[in-house]
Structure 1
Amino acid sequence: MTPAAAIDAWLAELATQRRLAAHTLAGYRRDLDKLRHDLVAAGDLPLADVLGHHVRRFVAQHHGRGLSGRSLGRLLSAWRGFFTWLGERGLIRANPCDGIRPPKSPKRLPKAVSVDAAAQLLDAPVDPDDIEALRDAAMFELFYSSGLRLAELVALDAAALPGILSDGEVRVLGKRSKLRLVPVGSRACAALAAWGEQRGRLASPDEPALFVGVRGRRISPRVIEMRLAQRAAALGLPTHVHPHMLRHSFASHVLQSSGDLRAVQEMLGHASIASTQVYTHLDFQHLARVYDQAHPRARRK
């Protein structure tokens, strides 16, 4: 079996049996295409002949081209899963990725806007006759109120709106098709109700999506990113604001107020508490700034 045919077969199995998301499958394909090109560059090296030293060399070459440790870790994860699948079918003797670790990258903290900046962004007046502005207000309030991922917000259907407004919570399908319930604040509910009353002016009659674009169909992630960036720029916010930044801000601000890391983990839909602990660093940064500004021995002259 050629590398290209083996890659196609593995991805097809992941799509049908494990029902992985299209976005995840596309990422796997990009990483495996790198492996296929590496094999060609190594003189059309057969999959059965790939050894650990080959994989180390490939990884080192990608690192030299600028791939970060995090990207290389994802790449190795895809390669390892692929070679495991080949081994289960007797096409290779051993997994050449076993024991290979990517180089470490400095951990980058997520960027969050301050409470004041979030209020400035969300409290801006909205023209009730501007249907797109009503929609944007509802989307941005929901991002900040509930810490949704961009894909989760895009996937919401209008049929869920009555339940959101009556129960004050939203049911979302997160990563690995995991369902979770997240609270929705009163400001977000009010904005969603205002959008729901006017949604029919923009949405096509047969469109199930809660949030739609100017063509009446489910809004695209890129349009949401663009609209949020434009709103932040128009208000003079000093940083580029994107949807995930509102998710980070939700997590950071809830943690600052409550100190309940487990609750934040549940609301964000993180499988591991380690993913949520990064927000404790943001919380410490906030406390450090307060200390620097308030303590008599810390204030700079």
Structure 2
Amino acid sequence: MAEAAAPLPEPAEHYLAHLRAERQLAGRTLALYTDALTRLVQGAAALQVAPESLQPHHVRMLMARLHAGGLGSRSLALLLSAWRGFYRWWGLQGGVKLNPVDGVRAPKAAKPLPKALAVDQAVALASYEHKSSKGGDERGDPALHARDHAIVELLYGSGLRVGELVGLDVQASGSAAGWVDLAEAHAQVRGKGSKWREVPVGGASREALAAWLALRPGVAATGEPALFVSQRGTRLSASQVRARLKTLALEAGLPTSVHPHMLRHSFASHLLQSSGDLRAVQELLGHANISTTQVYTKLDFQHLAKVYDAAHPRAKKKTP
């Protein structure tokens, strides 16, 4: 909230009264409008311009100053909305001829970088052995242990989306949404936009899949085509994969909550760190536009920056 200031100009006070009486806004919402109008009046005064004389370029200057002062994109968008409504009402009252806020937009919020595991964390999760467990839960079932291991290996080793993973069938067919060919060491998957792509399946993934396939007949229902099935023998759902992965990560002692897409991010980031081949990573991920893949170059730079900060003698500040 803005600091206490002198009373608002008469048009602003009338607008707040309009919001209170005719639109019957809640007290909290009225307080937000009051703060927004206070910021507007203070900003106009700092620019030595009367509120009724503000132009779009003035509003952009106010946005820039508030943004530099620490306000985020969402807060700025709320301010603009309040200011826009005020000038629209003021124009209907004949007070102004121009709404200076029309056409002004808040800066776009920066998109957060995808979260990826460190290489040792991803390898630890893929190599994790279930704790022994008595009873009928999934941790005590060797077959479902083998299934979970194969799931982690495919998500991390081939960069599959969780929807692509659960859509895999044991064998290729006209209705299959994807399948794995162990002999050829690749998987055919149907991704976004029903586009097919071929991805390699590494040695660790093939070993894990072979172990699961040897035990799958004792779990899968008769005639079930899905590669990965639940305890009930039917196709595993995406939500079930998420739940199993979260449990596995906790058991493996990882310091962060893990979801399937994090393993896909880890696949892309680690591959790019090793190869530097952005186009190859794009093709393996099935991205239609390389700009989508380029976000992983930022992750790669973050990794390099951490290495630099930790290892380079010039990266450390000298102590006095």
TM-score, length-scaled by structure 1:
0.64
Shift of 1:190: 0.2
> Partners in 2 of 1:269 and 1:293 — Cα distance?
34
Q: Where does residue 118 of structure 2 map in the other structure? A: 114
The structure whose residues are more often helix, as a share, is 1
Matches for 1:147-226 after TM superposition, within 5 Å: 147-160=159-172, 164-226=181-243
Q: Is residue 145–residue 188 contact of structure 1 (8 Å, CA) maintained in 2?
A: yes
Q: Where does residue 133 of structure 1 map in the other structure? A: 145
> Partners in 2 of 1:235 and 1:257 — Cα distance?
25
Unaligned stretches of 5+ residues in structure 2:
1-73, 78-102, 133-139, 173-177
> Partners in 1 of 2:180 and 2:187 — Cα distance?
8
Q: Where does residue 233 of structure 1 map in the other structure? A: 250
> Partners in 2 of 1:163 and 1:247 — Cα distance?
17
Matches for 1:28-67 after TM superposition, within 5 Å: none
Shift of 1:106: 1.4
Q: Where does residue 105 of structure 1 map in the other structure? A: 109
> Partners in 2 of 1:289 and 1:257 — Cα distance?
16
Q: Is residue 170–residue 180 contact of structure 2 (8 Å, CA) maintained in 1?
A: no
Matches for 1:269-280 after TM superposition, within 5 Å: 269-280=286-297
Distance 1:162 1:219, change over 3 A: closer
Tell whether 2:301 aligns with 1:284.
Answer: yes
Aligned-partner residue type, residue 159 of structure 1: Q
Distance 1:254 1:197, change over 3 A: same
Question: In terms of mean alpha carbon deviation, does 119-128 or 259-268 score higher?
Answer: 119-128
Secondary structure of the corresponding residue to residue 210 of structure 1:
coil
> Partners in 2 of 1:100 and 1:197 — Cα distance?
62
Secondary structure of the corresponding residue to residue 197 of structure 2:
strand
Tell whether 2:127 aligns with 1:123.
Answer: yes
Shift of 1:100: 11
> Partners in 2 of 1:152 and 1:100 — Cα distance?
41
> Partners in 1 of 2:242 and 2:106 — Cα distance?
31
Aligned-partner residue type, residue 129 of structure 2: P
> Partners in 2 of 1:299 and 1:199 — Cα distance?
54
Size of the alignment, in residue pairs?
Answer: 206
> Partners in 1 of 2:149 and 2:180 — Cα distance?
19
Q: Is residue 242–residue 259 contact of structure 2 (8 Å, CA) maintained in 1?
A: yes
Q: Is residue 141–residue 187 contact of structure 1 (8 Å, CA) maintained in 2?
A: yes
Distance 1:188 1:280, change over 3 A: same
Shift of 1:257: 0.2
Distance 1:163 1:288, change over 3 A: closer
Aligned-partner residue type, residue 118 of structure 1: A
Aligned-partner residue type, residue 142 of structure 2: D
Secondary structure of the corresponding residue to residue 181 of structure 1:
strand
TM-score, length-scaled by structure 2:
0.61
Shift of 1:119: 1.0
> Partners in 1 of 2:292 and 2:201 — Cα distance?
22
Deviations 1:129-159 (CA, angstroms, capped at 9, x unpaired)? 6111110000110000100000000100011
Unaligned stretches of 5+ residues in structure 1:
1-65, 70-98
Identity of aligned residues (%): 56
Q: Is residue 164–residue 189 contact of structure 1 (8 Å, CA) maintained in 2?
A: no
> Partners in 2 of 1:289 and 1:194 — Cα distance?
38
Larger Rg: 2
> Partners in 1 of 2:122 and 2:278 — Cα distance?
21
Distance 1:261 1:162, change over 3 A: closer
Shift of 1:107: 1.4
Considering only aligned residues, what root-mean-square deviation do their CA atoms show, in Å? Answer: 2.4
Aligned-partner residue type, residue 142 of structure 1: L
Q: Is residue 168–residue 226 contact of structure 2 (8 Å, CA) maintained in 1?
A: yes
